[in-house]
């Protein structure tokens, strides 16, 4: 299952009832925190996200609305006697900023904290279940999007056929990996009679802060879900470009060109009190668009 | 008028519904922000504190629950086109921490930001209406309390007597400063016939994080109101001392020994779900105690 829970959907200045960027991505049975604006840990309490379940945090860039809550969260993990390792991925000066604040407070963290500096397009995490990559966006400062790929699961046994054909237990894993079975008398029992294909792994992409940027498309192509910023409605297209942000229709166009299945839009400018128009405008180009609303979990 | 509005009353780990330390002190017609834990700017929105009214911020020490909201607030002031100067007072590495975060974001603030490093017991602000001082507390790292002194106002004219005695207009200011009037024929008209004394200026002290510390008393003596931390109930006296914090009864004893008029208690440990006992215990020693509750303004 792929799920994205929005903790903050606003751009730089917090608005009444809207917080800066942060979201929890659930994929392959794990939770990943993406960006960590001020107040993220309080939002995690509000929306009952168990802090102990987070062991990877990805920071897109060093504008405050995307990371000012990070040092507080790192601190609280320690005060709450978090035990497991924490991995933080972000652009280069992040480590120094965090470590300085830990140092001046004379804090000894009670768990291992690992920083990973990101740069260019790269694979950040790669295990049996999942692959997580970063890719550069076009923003005023160095900024990265993140894509989350659930790996294809092993094939599923058709237990009835497996028993009928007397396949020995030791060969089950080979079946799951797609092998045919050959009996002692040389008879080939085709894998496709014994197993069915597992559903394709899900893919999610967080496109961070960016101006309209087609070079991003290759990194998010065919995703099941993407989150793309829409700081402005489309009549502010010029301002968006100037400030390295996107409009509703620009986000929708990226979603369309990348052939993704669903688009979530967020990072709304504080100048907007209501959000309905964001959805309406984006849907003109990409109908399967939803607003990223705080506290809501979007499941695929 | 002296007023203190509580924006956060919790200790280090945020609890459901309680935020880290921050408060707005209103004295001499000005607002001063004292400490700025994570989420302070959002609390300012929630409680309708006009950010534009703040031009002085005092940070007691560099544990995150007292300052992690500062860089976000400084940033937002700029995004909101704040014009007036902002003065920030705090222990020495604070300036470097904030400036580094502004630098990596490539932010140009649109207003002048002045850092003032504090050290020892000193006067930080001194103008016609108010004097603000800092004093060291006993905490695990360098930490300061702040005292706010409203200056005695000029005497008030008794307009009837002033007219009856034909005091010329040009002499009114001299009367307010306590001078007698001498007529052209040398007759002395006593100031006390013409004016009444203005009420004494109010004094407030924020005692920051500290363990039980009688050396603080001289700095807060006879204050109209003090805020003293009570991280723990009194049965945790040993833990309080170990961790450089105070209990209810220790705070009350300081208030009593300093002869202050009223005590506000706050900085409650997250391990307490309810707060009634804090008030009850402190009142055993110092009856005029109140809990510092978020969103409440305490007026004197």
B121 touching chain A per CB within 8 A: no
CB pairs under 8 A between A and B: 94
Asked if A145 and A219 touch (Cβ cutoff 8 Å), the reply is yes
Among residues A176, A196, A216, the one where a domain terminates is A196
A110 touching chain B per CB within 8 A: no
B110 touching chain A per CB within 8 A: no
Distance CA B91, CA B279 (A): 31
Distance CA B148, CA B225 (A): 10
Task: State the average pLDDT for chain B.
Answer: 94
Could you report the per-residue pLDDT of B251-266, keeping only the tens digit for each? 999 999 999 999 999 9
B109 touching chain A per CB within 8 A: no
Q: What mean pLDDT do residues B160-174 have?
A: 93
Mark whether A33 and A163 lie in a shared domain.
Answer: no
pLDDT at A13 > cutoff 80: no
- The band of A244, judged by pLDDT with boundaries at 50, 70 and 90, is very high
* Nearest in space to B11 (alpha carbons), one of B21, B23, B1, B3: B21
Q: What's the structural domain count of chain B?
A: 2
Question: Within a 10 A sphere around the Cβ of A151, how many other Cβ atoms?
Answer: 15
- The band of B60, judged by pLDDT with boundaries at 50, 70 and 90, is very high
B68–A72 C-beta distance less than 8 A: yes
**What's the confidence (pLDDT) of residue A12?**
80
Among residues A142, A166, A196, the one where a domain terminates is A196
* Nearest in space to A8 (alpha carbons), one of A292, A229, A247: A292
- Which chain A positions have a beta carbon within 8 Å of B64's beta carbon? 71-72, 75, 101, 105
Distance, in angstroms, between B279 CA and closest chain A CA?
A: 26
The chain B residue lying nearest A67, using CA atoms, is B72
Which residues, including other chains, have CB under 8 Å from residue A31's CB and lie 6 or more apart?
A24, A25, A49, A53, A54
A104–B13 C-beta distance less than 8 A: no
Mark whether A43 and A175 lie in a shared domain.
Answer: no
Predicted ipTM? Answer: 0.85
**What's the confidence (pLDDT) of residue A29?**
86
Mark whether A104 and A127 lie in a shared domain.
Answer: yes
- The band of B15, judged by pLDDT with boundaries at 50, 70 and 90, is confident
Mark whether B176 and B71 lie in a shared domain.
Answer: no
Question: Two tokens at B89?
Answer: 């007072």
Distance CA A181, CA A170 (A): 11
SS3 readout for chain B: CCEEEEEECECCCCECCECECEEEEEECCEEEEEEECCCHHHHHHHCCCCHHHEEEEECCCCCHHHCCCHHHHHHHHHHCCCCCCEEEEECCHHHHHHHHHHHHCCCCCCCCEEEEECCCCEEEEECCCEEEEEEECCCCCCCEEEEEEECCCCCEECHHHHHHCCCCHHHHHHHHCCCCEECCCCCEECHHHHEECCCCCCEEEECCCCCCCHHHHHHHCCCCEEEEECCECHHHHHHHHHCCCCEHHHHHHHHHHCCCCCEEEECECCCCCCCHHHHHHHHHHCCCEEECCCCCEEEC
The chain A residue lying nearest B40, using CA atoms, is A39
Mark whether B94 and B32 lie in a shared domain.
Answer: yes
pLDDT at B82 > cutoff 90: no
B16–A45 C-beta distance less than 8 A: yes
- Which chain A positions have a beta carbon within 8 Å of B45's beta carbon? 14-16
What does the CA dihedral A236, A242, A248, A254 come to, rounded to 10 degrees?
A: 150
Distance CA A61, CA A90 (A): 7
Mark whether B136 and B275 lie in a shared domain.
Answer: yes
User: Which domain does B83 fall in, by range?
Assistant: 3-153+199-299
Mark whether A182 and A114 lie in a shared domain.
Answer: no
Mark whether A173 and A46 lie in a shared domain.
Answer: no
Residue B65 annotated as catalytic = yes
B271 touching chain A per CB within 8 A: no
CB under 8 A, 24+ apart: contacts of B25-29? B25/B148, B25/B204, B25/B206, B26/B1, B26/B2, B27/B1, B27/B2, B27/B3, B27/B130, B27/B148, B27/B150, B27/B202, B27/B204, B28/B129, B28/B130, B28/B150, B28/B151, B28/B201, B29/B129
Distance CA B246, CA A10 (A): 39
**What's the confidence (pLDDT) of residue B154?**
86
Q: Look up the pTM and report it.
A: 0.88
| CATH code at position A241 | 3.60.15.10
Task: State the average pLDDT for chain A.
Answer: 94
In angstroms, what is the C-alpha Rg of chain A?
22
Distance CA B45, CA A38 (A): 14
The DSSP-derived string for A194-246 is HEEPPPPPPEEEE--S-SS-GGGHHHHTT-SEEEEE--B-GGGHHHHHHTT--
pLDDT at B80 > cutoff 90: no
A76–B13 C-beta distance less than 8 A: yes
> Pairing relation of β-strands B263-266 and B289-291?
parallel
Q: What angle do CA A180, A183, A187 make, to 5 degrees?
A: 80
Mark whether A214 and A270 lie in a shared domain.
Answer: yes
Buried b (16+ CB within 10 A) or exposed e, A172-199: beebbeeeebeeeeeeebebeebbeeee
- Which chain A positions have a beta carbon within 8 Å of B140's beta carbon? 106
Distance CA B271, CA B273 (A): 6
Among residues A165, A196, A227, the one where a domain terminates is A196
Mark whether B143 and B246 lie in a shared domain.
Answer: yes
Distance CA A18, CA B250 (A): 40
B38–A140 C-beta distance less than 8 A: no
A63–B105 C-beta distance less than 8 A: yes
Distance CA A35, CA A24 (A): 9
Mark whether B160 and B66 lie in a shared domain.
Answer: no
**What's the confidence (pLDDT) of residue A91?**
97
pLDDT at B13 > cutoff 80: no
Distance, in angstroms, between B265 CA and closest chain A CA?
A: 22
A19–B42 C-beta distance less than 8 A: yes
Give the burial class of A47: count Cβ atoms within 10 A of its Cβ; 0-12 exposed, 13-18 middle, 19 or more buried: middle
Query: Which residue among B17, B35, B65, B209 is the active-site one?
Result: B65
Mark whether A161 and A147 lie in a shared domain.
Answer: no
* Nearest in space to B54 (alpha carbons), one of B30, B71, B37, B38: B30
Could you report the per-residue pLDDT of A170-191, keeping only the tens digit for each? 999 999 999 999 998 999 999 9
> Pairing relation of β-strands B130-136 and B144-150?
antiparallel
């Amino acid at each position: 299952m792929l799920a994205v829970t929005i903790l903050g959907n606003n751009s730089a200045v917090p608005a009444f009832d809207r917080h800066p960027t942060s979201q929890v991505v659930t994929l392959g049975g794990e939770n990943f925190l993406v960006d960590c604006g001020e107040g993220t840990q309080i939002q995690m309490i509000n929306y009952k996200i168990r802090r102990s379940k987070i062991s990877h945090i990805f920071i897109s860039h060093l504008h405050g609305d995307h990371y000012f809550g990070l040092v507080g969260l790192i601190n609280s993990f320690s005060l709450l006697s978090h035990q497991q390792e924490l991995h933080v991925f972000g652009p280069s000066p992040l480590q120094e900023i965090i470590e300085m604040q830990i140092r001046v407070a004379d804090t000894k963290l009670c768990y291992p904290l690992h920083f990973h500096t990101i740069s260019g397009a790269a694979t950040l995490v790669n295990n049996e279940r999942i692959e997580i990559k970063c890719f550069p966006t076009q923003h005023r400062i160095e900024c990265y999007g993140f894509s989350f790929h659930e790996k294809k699961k092993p094939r599923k046994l058709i237990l009835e056929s497996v028993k009928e054909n007397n396949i020995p237990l030791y060969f089950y894993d080979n079946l799951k990996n797609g092998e045919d079975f050959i009996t002692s008398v040389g008879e080939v029992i085709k894998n496709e009679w014994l197993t069915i294909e597992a559903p394709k792994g899900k893919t999610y992409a967080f496109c961070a802060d960016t101006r309209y940027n087609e070079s991003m498309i290759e990194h998010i192509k065919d995703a099941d879900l993407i989150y793309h910023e829409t700081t402005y409605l489309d009549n502010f297209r010029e301002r968006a470009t100037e400030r390295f942000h996107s409009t509703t229709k620009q986000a929708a166009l990226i979603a369309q060109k990348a052939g993704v299945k669903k688009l979530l839009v967020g990072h709304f400018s504080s100048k907007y009190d209501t959000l309905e128009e964001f959805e309406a405008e984006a849907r003109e180009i990409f109908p399967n668009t939803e607003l990223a609303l705080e506290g809501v979990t979007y499941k695929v």
